[in-house]
Structure 1
């Protein structure tokens, strides 16, 4: 296999949502002679994928799509990935086929895939660390994974040529591949993704309980609190499965968190100003040193904050300017915490480039103050 030469063959993608659809588009762009076959339990998604040209063919059953595939990618929720692997284990697949997944947990999935390896097939766990605020194949983009980390979890006996072949197939993602052990993967993603989702959900539950006796909670939470807990709006079914798959890591992190909160509580009881100052200072320093333009496990929110006067039509005015410059936005809302003449319009974008263009656009057409909030 020559590096840089487009590959031919059949690629079977199971799960035609945002991730599966985006992987299909990346492979089509890099390997135009490859044939992409798609399958999804939701037949509406399957039809939509074919209509949008995300896949070349659709498979009505797993068996027909997998039979002659050179590459099989499973892009379903983590519990479904296990089910799909079980099905594949009972099929006669093409010799030399490479199988991978896109799940955000790895230990249990790699264990489940032992049956594939026992039959002589190559399985490499995968996790493209990118996402979007939108879902479904209609939101698929060939640039979704660009510059994102793509974690691979090969076994020690994985054929190096097969691993390189997988990277070649996925070259069109323009992602940065990192190889880690499955257990290391689950701990890392537990710390920077799974645990924060649980914390966000717990903060929302705490606010909900408080709102029963403090009516102002809901109104005040419409500002920064809503922003820092926005990941709690992710799919409940998906996070139920991820939490169960990575329960051992999460349980350890819960213990660590309780110890961390106990340290803070002791500082407060002792009214230790210096310790509290150092605590917040170290947190600020570490957070400020984090790469701003990197893509991580949690999809970035590229927000632009615009101070706008409170008069009818101001939102359509701003969106009109953005439309004029062909700048796409993903969400728009008004922060309700301020009651002065000016309010804060929060506009979310898919990429940092879109946000930068939008900021320049608004400054060009108006005199409204803007900021990124970083």
Structure 2
């Protein structure tokens, strides 16, 4: 299929794609450039990539695929350099959350016949190669945008390749892509960040809100911990669609405001009921916002209880991603929150602890 693959940017997404390719294809040569030397050195030590140094970009000329995995604006800045050595067999692809501006830059650089837009719908609030893993793309949609100029055989082969590393390719036009991602990813990230800023700016000097901000509030604002630089780039490159959808969102807020102001019990209940029905119908598969594999355990307030639970799970070769006491349980039963790395581990941990007479809530 492919013999050599290059990466520009080896952070969370680039690193995870590279790791997944290495897992499935031991004989493919993988090389990478990144502005963080430590990422290159660590990826070389992991045997994910074959180079342990920063090399001139024109050494990517013999790659079959070049993945652009830096922020959108930086990816665009590399296009004139890539244009200098592209050949008819090469594929240039990106992983960016915005396609319109990238597609225009591709046209401006006369690279349409080489470019396939890509966007793996997975991620994390964590960043960098150190947080990447070879299963991040597992059963995640991988959005592919087609400009209808590149050879269709290239598209078909690329989609087969993406499938082979565990992802689920799905084709959209660039405009469809940017509208969809603005709706289900970009605007929600803005809302989450604005909620955090709202609480911070309205808290008392005693920081009471921050003290009790756990449970539901922390869950719905988790994505506010994502990379500020990445979201700066996204807002600047998908501005028109984000602004249009923010206006629509403000109308939804206004519906709640008017219903509450009128004291209309039926309207208020209906707004929450509509949201619940639609939310409950959404697939639990991987999307743009990373799944969290967590559950809650009832525990007594006694010395060593967390250590005992951790030991029980460790004896079953189960690795805990995160564990901690929930002090604000307004919306959640169970005093101990346990987060696992994947769905299989979560269900196995639940069954193991139930077998040990612990009460579990999910």
Q: TM-score, normalization: structure 2?
A: 0.93
CA distance 1:115–1:329, shift in 2 (3 Å):
farther
**What corresponds to 1:45 in structure 2?**
39
Q: CA deviation at 1:182?
A: 0.9
Residue 150 of structure 2: SS of its match in structure 1? coil
Consecutive unaligned residues in structure 2, runs of 5 or more? none
Q: Where does residue 219 of structure 1 map in the other structure?
A: 211
Q: 1-side partners of 2:141 and 2:326: how far apart?
A: 33
**CA distance in structure 2 between the aligned counterparts of 1:237 and 1:351, rounded to whole angstroms:** 28
Q: 2:103 aligns with which of 92, 99, 110?
A: 110
Match of 1:289 in 2: 281
Q: How does 1:93-172 map to 2 (within 5 A)?
A: 93-116=86-109, 118=110, 121-172=113-164
Secondary structure at 1:125's aligned position in 2? Answer: strand
Equivalent-residue separation in structure 1 for 2:254 and 2:341 (angstroms): 38
- The structure 1 residue matched to 2:302, chosen from 305, 311, 322, is 311
Confirm or deny that 1:326 pairs with 2:317.
yes
For 1:296-347, what per-residue CA distance to the aligned partner results, in whole angstroms no more than 9, with x for missing partners? 11111111111211222222222222221111222222211269xx961112
- C-alpha spacing 1:20/1:338, structure 2 compared with 1 (3 Å): closer
* Secondary structure of the corresponding residue to residue 297 of structure 1: coil
Q: 2:65 touches 2:92 (CA, 8 Å); kept in 1? A: yes
Q: In structure 2, which of residues 10, 20, 24 is the aligned counterpart of residue 16 of structure 1?
A: 10
Partner in structure 1 of residue 358 of structure 2: 368
Residue among 55, 65, 69 paired with 1:61 = 55
Offset of residue 213 of structure 1: 5.5
Correspondence list, 1:164-183, <5 A = 164-183=156-175
How far apart in 2 are the matches of 1:317 and 1:109? 52
CA distance in 1, matches of 2:13, 2:92: 16
Structure 1's 216 and 343: CA in aligned 2 closer, same or farther, altered over 3 A?
Answer: farther
After superposition, the Cα gap between the structure-2 partners of 1:55 and 1:337, relative to the gap in structure 1 and judged at 3 Å, is same
**Number of corresponding residues:** 360
Match of 1:280 in 2: 272
Q: Is the 8 A contact 2:88 2:114 kept in 1?
A: no
1:66/1:93 contact within 8 Å kept: no
Instruction: Indicate the residue corresponding to 1:349 in structure 2.
Output: 340
> Are residues 1:194 and 2:219 paired?
no
Aligned to 1:4: none
Tell me by how many angstroms 1:223 deviates. 2.5
Once the two structures are superposed, the pairs formed by residues 229-268 of structure 1 within 5 Å of their partners are 229-268=221-260
1:26 equivalent in alignment to 2:11: no
**Partners of 1:59 and 1:65 within 8 A in 2:** no
**Structure 1 regions of 5+ residues with no counterpart?**
1-6
